[in-house]
Structure 1
Amino acid sequence: MQRKRFLLINPWVYDFAAVNMWARPLGLLRVAEFLSQFDVEILLLDCMDRFRLKGYNMGKYPKLILPTPEPLLDIKRYYGRYGIGLDEFIQRLRSSAPVDMILVTSLMTYWYPGVFEVIRLCRRFLPGVPVVLGGIYATLCHEHAKAFSGADYVYRGRISHDFVDLTETMGIRLTGTGNPVPYYRLNLYRNPPYAPLLTSEGCPYRCSYCASGLLSDSYSTRPVDEIVQEIRQLHSLGVKDLAFYDDALLFRAEEHIKPLLHEIIREGLDVRFHTPNGLHARYLDSELADLMYRAGFKTIRLSLETVNPERQGLSGGKVRNDELDRAIFYLRKAGFRKENIGVYLMYGLPGQDIEEVAEGVEYLISRDVRIHLAEYSPIPGTRDWKILTEKGIIHDDIDPLLTNNTVFSVLCTNYAMEELRRIKERVNYHNLK
């Protein structure tokens, strides 16, 4: 009997800006791992596997400027599609035939136009093939996805054994060994220069603005030896840069990250490590900073969000200003410099005025670290979402396009745009010094 063929698709990003920070569609790759335990053939079409690499193998995606969607016309920036070209997508889609099922992932809720376009093209060029949509948008905006995506089925949450039941309702029976294969051994990417790492699941914190708790209701860590084996195998494939995408990498450091770093140092592999997700500064002590330096960390991002102590407490209480100061001190003591240390500072938070943002910028300038301004974006289901809907600032049935981080700070705050521009210029000047 011929093996069933599953086509996994990571859609384009439709947005005003997009930068590749060692990203891969981890959720979709987990689907590939899940399917690998069955007697099936797995194909991957990653629309975002195209970029101009710069330092440390990160860089920009190609962009095709498109007409701005009507809800976003007040934003005076160029909207576009990021990733591979349309002709290449269609050619690869056609060449994948025949396939028995198409699985499309989704990330940011406001990136759904790319998801819809992929599904539309699948319908056109692979007619009759069932399409299942999953991922973050499909989970957080489930009803919107069911109503408008065009998928045959919208799958909520992480893939589990109930997916087998779903395939059977679509006439596909899965049989196999029951032994999943790690995605990096499935040859889904050719000569990958970088790879993401996920050493834990979920987050112990429940910050008011974050959806982590909605996507995973518990926190757990992977065995250290399993992670080291993954790093070793990725290195053997030519991977030079590895990015930790954990939500709480430093939590319970004595039990997890410190033993892991000791093993990484012992391996002596020529790789560089990065932490694009903000780290919890609270857990960064002198020993940990030294281990990170010796292990080869090059990009460190710390989470601050705001310098306002009251808002720090209301949003989740994961860091105080003195804890950030201490973390920066330990990192410098270990040997890290300004170009290695970055801090996320948010603007557009509910109730946050522009003066608070400016105060945060000056605070970080005085610490001589790189500043990464992060535009706030409301996420369905979070505590902030509830506050914003109760105040009438947004509605539960709002078009997810309007939750775009570029959009929200412009349309839903009272910030003077000239003052915000001045703050951004000050940040850029400081970062380039």
Structure 2
Amino acid sequence: MEFKVTRGAGNVWEARPYLGTDRLTGKPIRPYKSWPADLDEKRAQALADEWIAGYAPASSSSSSKRLSSMLSSYVHDPQRGFSQATVSTYDGVVRNHIAPTIGDIPYDELKPYEVTAAYRILLSEGPGRKPIGRNTLRKAHALLSGAYRVWQRQLGVNPMLNVPAPAPDRLRPFALDDWDQDKLVAALADDMAIGGTDRESIKRRTTAFAGFIALNQALRCGEVCALQRRSWRRAVHDVYVEATVSEKPVLRRQPSPKRESVGAVSAAPDVERAIAEHIAWQDRWMAKPDQYSCLVTDRPNGGVMRPSTLSRYFSEMARDLGMPAGTTMHTLRHTHATWLLMNGYDMRTIQERLRHRDVATTLRLYASVMPGRDSAAASGFAEAHAARKEG
């Protein structure tokens, strides 16, 4: 179908094409989506065409009742209020997991046993198929459950009420031990001392500084990429985390999707000194640096760096240093939290520093590395047996 993007409020590009009539409500289907104002019309139109091509409005009078199509309509319905990140995640769930298993079943004929059978298939390995993680399966379950809660009003039934939620993965955070920490910290310091401004020097020093900040401030990769110079609040000696960087549908800095992720993380004197030295070095090769320039960037205009690029650079560095297999930027956040636990800091302090929603989240992730748990259990068992022997 043909339609044109137009300028809307705030000068953003937007589209609201007519896609037919909803067979359930009789109302016209006119999905809405917008794109950043700084795109040119050709790029905005291309993104709009790509969006509508995958929309598949299953509720229109001429469209299929297939579950995958109905879920696509549900995900892209502006009334649902999903963030762009959530839409992207659910699109992937529908395309990669639901469509190949139960996607062709009419949405009003789905049975609970068909859903549980699909879950078993997705969790098992098959020809040309790797099993998915339980947390990924839980996203599929959340999508199906939410959609059928809405559809239940028209269908009169909800098959998901009889489908138990998949158990979550048992998460065990991967953290670097003391030896690897010392080796990494020394390597980061060496690369942060690079004074050159050629392309390779900028890559190496920026990657090292990003790793240093992630390790010391317990930040996620996207949060590191979103830091601006003004994020460092010298007067109160902290780094204020308020945003992340998304790469879909376009590269952009955006507010943190989770309210609890926003907050100040105190910075030690060594960290503040490193930030000041990094800014002074950036001033030598950036075109017009200001308070909005990114702290972690390889661009002369101070623009945001792709998290996927930074993650790849750091993984290459870790591999060259001989770090354990699987060491990533997020490993540094786990290492920070694990070190705090092993050195006696209380769980509330760690929860606030990691900006978790609550202490329960922190406990679920890090209780397995709390010091003394295993030795206390061993001592208690031995003492009980000794007491019975004496008695």
Question: Would the TM-score normalized by the shorter structure come out above 0.5?
Answer: no
Q: TM-score range with shorter-chain normalisation?
A: under 0.3
Larger proportion of strand: 1
TM score, norm. by length of structure 2? 0.24
TM score, norm. by length of structure 1? 0.23
Larger proportion of helix: 2
